[in-house]
Amino acid sequence: MRQNNSITQEHTRRSKAKADGENAFKVRLSIRTALGDNAYAWDTNEEYLFKAMVAFSMRKVPNRETTEISHVLVCNVTQRVSFWFVVTDPLKNHTLPAVEVQTAIRMNRNRINGAFFLNDQTLEFLKIPSTLAPPTDPSVPIWIIIFGVIFCIVIVAVMLLILSGIRQRRRMSKGPTEVDDSEDKCENTITIENGIPCDPLDTKGGHINDAFMTEDERLTPL
């Protein structure tokens, strides 16, 4: 008698777990893609773990704390690895509504993924969309900080150059008014090199003879 019971029980359970059932979900695992050489084989023990994780997730839902591993049915396991599962309620003899199962799985997705060393892409629950991680938004965008730094440096450099230019011009207008004439190219390249047409101290007397210009006068310290 008992054997008959268990066989009929098995029958009813199998018929409930038929694929494409309203409350059934298809699961797809890509173990080799995720783990490469460290991939484990999918066997009945892994199935047991899966059922345990689903039961665990259902237990977290209020009113469903009594869900047992045996209430979770798995069928149609393929080589892929993919299979269908459904959660039953033996007391009322029906399958739990999809919405409840979906909410339970979504809330514990990370734990389920972790148990199998997989992630949302390699352990897929078709029909259950995964919640995407929110983007990290710093309070001040990073680019503005870098922009601000470079902007300040450039402004300071511009100010420095303008101020030094004004100072040079004031020094020039206060000093001797004679400026070297352009015919003396050699002197031009030296004196203009610093951006300032420097007036050597002895222009007041008259024309300078290059040959007698000593080294340190040529290189005016400025």
Partner 1 sequence: MEKARPLWANPLQFVFACISYAVGLGNVWRFPYLCQMYGGGSFLVPYIIMLVVEGMPLLYLELAVGQRMRQGSIGAWRTISPYLGGVGLASVVVSFFLSTYYNIINAWAFWYLFHSFQDPLPWSVCPLNSNRTGYDEECEKASSTQYFWYRKTLNISPSIQDSGGVQWEQGLCLLLAWLVVYLCILRGTESTGKVVYFTALLPYCVLIIYLVRGLTLHGATNGLAYMFTPKLEQLANPKAWINAATQIFFSLGLGFGSLIAFASYNQPSTDCQKHAIIVSLINSSTSIFASVVTFSIYGFKATFNYESCLNKVILLLTNSFDLEDGFLTASNLEQVKGYLASAFPGKYSEVLPQIRNCSLESELATAVQGTGLSFIVYTEAIKNMAASQLWSVLYFFMLLMLGIGSMLGNTAAILTPLTDSKVISSHLPKEAISGLVCLVNCVIGLVFTMEAGNYWFDIFNDYAATLPLLLIVLVEIVAVCYVFGLRRFESDLKAMTGRTLNWYWKAMWAGVSPLLIISLFVFYLSDYILTGTLQYQAWDASQGQLVTKDYPLYALAIIGLLVASSTMCIPLVALGTFIVRCLKRGDTPPVA
User: Does 219 contact partner 1 by CB under 8 A?
Assistant: no
Q: Is 21 helix (H, G, I), strand (E, B) or coil?
A: coil
Long-range Cβ contact pairs of 29-35 (< 8 A, separation 24 or more): 29/80, 29/81, 29/82, 29/116, 29/118, 29/122, 29/123, 29/124, 30/118, 30/121, 30/122, 30/123, 30/124, 31/81, 31/116, 31/118, 31/122, 33/122, 34/117, 34/118, 34/119, 34/122, 35/117
Q: Name residue 177's amino acid.
A: T
Place of tokens 């030296």: 190
Residue 158 interacting with partner 1 (CB under 8 A): yes
Show contacts with partner 1 in window 163-202 (CB under 8 A).
Answer: 165, 169, 178-182, 185, 188-189, 192-195, 197
Using rule CB under 8 A, residue 162 touches partner 1: yes
Nearer to partner 1, 1 or 41 (CB): 41
- Count of C-beta atoms within a 10 Å radius of residue 82: 16
- Contact letters for partner 1, residues 85-124 (x by CB under 8 A): ----------------------------------------
Q: Would you state the structure tokens that stand for residue 142, as one six-digit string?
A: 């990073």
Residue from 56, 82, 119, 172 touching partner 1 (CB under 8 A): that is 82
- Residue 53 identity (one-letter amino acid): M
Tell which one of 19, 154, 201, 219 touches partner 1 (CB under 8 A).
154
Q: How far apart are CA 107 and CA 109, in angstroms?
A: 6
Q: How far is the CB of 65 from partner 1 (least distance, A)?
A: 29
Q: Are strands 25-29 and 82-89 parallel, antiparallel or unpaired?
A: antiparallel
Residue 186 contacts by C-beta under 8 Å, 6 or more apart in sequence? 210
Residue 210 CB, shortest distance to partner 1, in Å, is 16
Nearer to partner 1 by Cβ, of 56 and 197: the residue is 197
Residue nearer to partner 1 on the CB measure, 64 or 187: 187
As measured in angstroms, the least distance from the Cβ of 189 to partner 1 is 6
Positions in the binding site for partner 1 (CB under 8 A): 28-33, 39, 78-82, 129, 131-132, 134-135, 142-144, 146-147, 150-151, 154-155, 157-158, 161-162, 165, 169, 178-182, 185, 188-189, 192-195, 197
